[in-house]
Structure 1
Amino acid sequence: MSKHDTPIDTHPADVHRRRLLQRAAAGLTGAALGGALGPLGPFASVAAHAQSASNRLRIGYQKYGNFVVLKARGTLEKRLASQGVTVQWLEFPAGPQLLEGLNAGAVDVGTVGETPPIFAQAGGVDFVYIGSEPSAPQGEAIVVPHDSPIRSVAQLRGKKVALNKGSNVHFLLVQALQKAGLAYTDIQPVYLTPADARAAFVRGSVDAWVIWDPYLATIERQGNARTLAYGDGLVRNTQYYVAARKFAAAQPQVLHTLLKEVNGIDGWAHDNIPEVAALLSPLVGLDTATLEVALKRTGYGVQPITDATLAYQQQIADTFSALKLIPGKLTVADARWKTG
């Protein structure tokens, strides 16, 4: 969530963790461009300590979504206790940073959008896709200030567009520009985290913002934004479950248990959106009405990784490779989970 929307943690451990994540985020951006992630950096001591704990599942999550609901309900801990496994939750500001944590050995499994895994794989992160959620194309969009003279994507030529580099909305922007007859080089991309992008958007430092829920629902409901294009007809906006390859090979049963529990939470959430909104509200610092808007645009239910899934991801990889935003060609199927 944006720092404008959530309470600020003041506990020393929380402050220290936030600083580590911020440093890791900076490391990922440079590494993705260079073709390989750098050393473990701030995660080194965490990784070294955690590698000896084979009876622990470390889950990377973002401050919104089904993992937050799963964490709040505590059902996974009960299920895994019978396998002698404890659960540790690690919060990340976005998918790219979460995958950096996985690369550093500090995370075993996490959930991210469709584009972060492409940048991560290109950067040498050794992970596998273990499942996905149904597509949710209305959960992300390109927005402009409500009083902006820009009325179409085509009018973004020469304009400053804010986005989180390597996030799911990066592919949405590329696709929307192409449909409007523009090249990526026709705009001025401004790479910012959601919190910084929101600040820039509000003060008018950028002309447009490409963003996902619940940030999207927040800016829409506050009346500060007008939507130029949702993901419909452009992208799927799929959420993926990813795991460190070594962990997936060593602990497949733990992952199967996790996915089964997530699927159960998804089924409950789909049928109880007001209750989910009420559960999430104090955790993410947003009102229930805003959360209900975002939750109604979310996909529910864990799905297996299929050939069609990988083909779609390959399309994203080829797109970014052609734009030279990732180094060289990428074979997405190399990150497929082989469960035996």
Structure 2
Amino acid sequence: MSHPSRRQFVARTLGAGAALAMPAIGRAQARPVLKAGDQKGGLRALLEAAGALDGLGYDIQWSEFPAAAPLAEALNAGAVDSGPIGDAPLVFALAAGTRIKAIGANRSDSYGTAVLVRPDSPLQRAADLKGRSIATNRGSIGHYVTLKAITQAGLKPEDVNIRFLAPADAKLALTQGSVDAWATWEPYTALAEVSQHARVLVSGRGLLPGLSYLAATDDAIAAKRAVLQDYLQRIVRAQVWSYRNVDAYSAALARIIGIPPEAARLQFERRQQKWVAIDAKVIADQQGTADFYRQVGLIRQPLQVAPTFDTGFGVTG
């Protein structure tokens, strides 16, 4: 994976990203700044809806990314300190030499990580993808579910034509008929279903462990550990709040990320996300993801994932 220079990437990312400076408390000394990366429908929407950003002892500078790959590049360049990333993109980032660690883990229902087709598509099962074109992000969970689905159906990676496109371009390619399928994740899956632009051909349920993480750079962990611990705890508490206030959160999520309320509620309710301790099961499942990527040739060298977890960040709801 090629990366822009640190200076170029910082300028590009922070120029495009949305920045939020939290209100100052009036201290003379400079407050810490957490450079928080995010993905659409992710942590910022959750924290704002839950009111979990009140009383911060630091400022947050937000940058939003359409997928995990550009977020991983930002982490690698030091343009952001932390961000949410799925299990498959984390493997890809680590294999590329990105110096990050997973400091928090959550599990969710993997249904919404799926291979989508047009409603009128003749395709009915994973085996039907043989010889077909599938759009997704390289190294993403969409890429992962594609490879899992076709290998389980007895196909090989070379039996399909994978086209690497960003989510907006992939959606357009599917609706215009220039690809046969689109492998993506929430909230894109729910949005496509609600708008009836696509249907689920193969879901990730039973194929994926449903893991995703809050990752942070080694430098940020060393310099801002207390800030990251507080940030993670706020995310965990906000997640608990969201499932106790489904109507309020779904409405706020729809407003914040600009999707129909029914799509926001659908993707939220079926994901059933829960932050969990980084235990032996989490590490074993992540190792399985790394081993699979090695098996299908997406990473060249074996990757031992255990050292990429920092278990010193506890999660309490």
What TM-score, normalized by structure 1, do the two folds share?
Answer: 0.82
Of the three residues 36, 39, 54, the one matched with 2:5 is 39
| 1:59 and 2:32 matched | no
| Larger fraction in helix | 1
Of the three residues 143, 146, 170, the one matched with 1:173 is 146
Q: Which residue of 2 aligns with 1:27?
A: none
Q: Which residue of 2 aligns with 1:106?
A: 79
Gaps of 5+ in 1: 1-29, 32-36, 48-52
Aligned-partner SS, 2:205? coil
Rate the CA distance shift 1:39–1:74 in 2: closer, same or farther, 3 A: same
Q: Look up the equivalent residue of 2:83 and give its one-letter code.
A: G
Is the contact made by 1:267 and 1:300 (CA closer than 8 Å) also made in structure 2?
no
**1:65 Cα offset (Å):** 2.5
Q: Which residue of 2 aligns with 1:321?
A: 294
* CA distance in 1: counterparts of 2:231 and 2:73, whole angstroms: 21
* Equivalent residue runs for 1:89-104 within 5 Å: 89-104=62-77
Is the contact made by 1:141 and 1:231 (CA closer than 8 Å) also made in structure 2?
yes
**1:139 Cα offset (Å):** 2.0
* CA distance in 1: counterparts of 2:39 and 2:11, whole angstroms: 22
Q: Percent identity?
A: 35
Q: Which residue of 1 aligns with 2:115?
A: 142
Rate the CA distance shift 1:225–1:46 in 2: closer, same or farther, 3 A: closer
Aligned-partner SS, 1:129? strand
Q: Look up the equivalent residue of 2:52 and give its one-letter code.
A: T
Rate the CA distance shift 1:288–1:145 in 2: closer, same or farther, 3 A: same
Rate the CA distance shift 1:160–1:46 in 2: closer, same or farther, 3 A: closer
Of the three residues 303, 307, 324, the one matched with 2:280 is 307
Is the contact made by 1:259 and 1:302 (CA closer than 8 Å) also made in structure 2?
no
Stretch moving more, 68-77 or 276-285: 68-77
Q: Which residue of 2 aligns with 1:268?
A: 241
* CA distance in 2: counterparts of 1:76 and 1:134, whole angstroms: 23
Residues 233-289 of structure 1, C-alpha deviations (whole Å, 9 max, x = no match): 110232211001121133322222112111111011112222112112222111111
| 1:205 and 2:181 matched | no
* CA distance in 1: counterparts of 2:161 and 2:191, whole angstroms: 25
Q: Which runs of 4+ in 1 moved over 6 A?
A: none
Is the contact made by 1:114 and 1:239 (CA closer than 8 Å) also made in structure 2?
yes
Stretch moving more, 320-329 or 68-77: 68-77
Q: Which residue of 2 aligns with 1:330?
A: 303
Q: Look up the equivalent residue of 1:289 and give its one-letter code.
A: E
Aligned-partner SS, 1:334? helix
Residues 291-331 of structure 1, C-alpha deviations (whole Å, 9 max, x = no match): 11011122333222222212211111122122222232212
* CA distance in 1: counterparts of 2:217 and 2:278, whole angstroms: 16
What TM-score, normalized by structure 2, do the two folds share?
Answer: 0.88
Of the three residues 206, 223, 227, the one matched with 1:233 is 206
Residues 144-165 of structure 1, C-alpha deviations (whole Å, 9 max, x = no match): 1111111111011010011111
**1:45 Cα offset (Å):** 5.4
Q: Look up the equivalent residue of 2:182 and give its one-letter code.
A: W
Aligned-partner SS, 2:207? coil
RMSD: 2.1
**1:202 Cα offset (Å):** 0.2
Aligned residues between the structures? 298
Of the three residues 247, 250, 263, the one matched with 1:277 is 250
Is the contact made by 2:87 and 2:286 (CA closer than 8 Å) also made in structure 1?
yes
* CA distance in 1: counterparts of 2:142 and 2:191, whole angstroms: 16
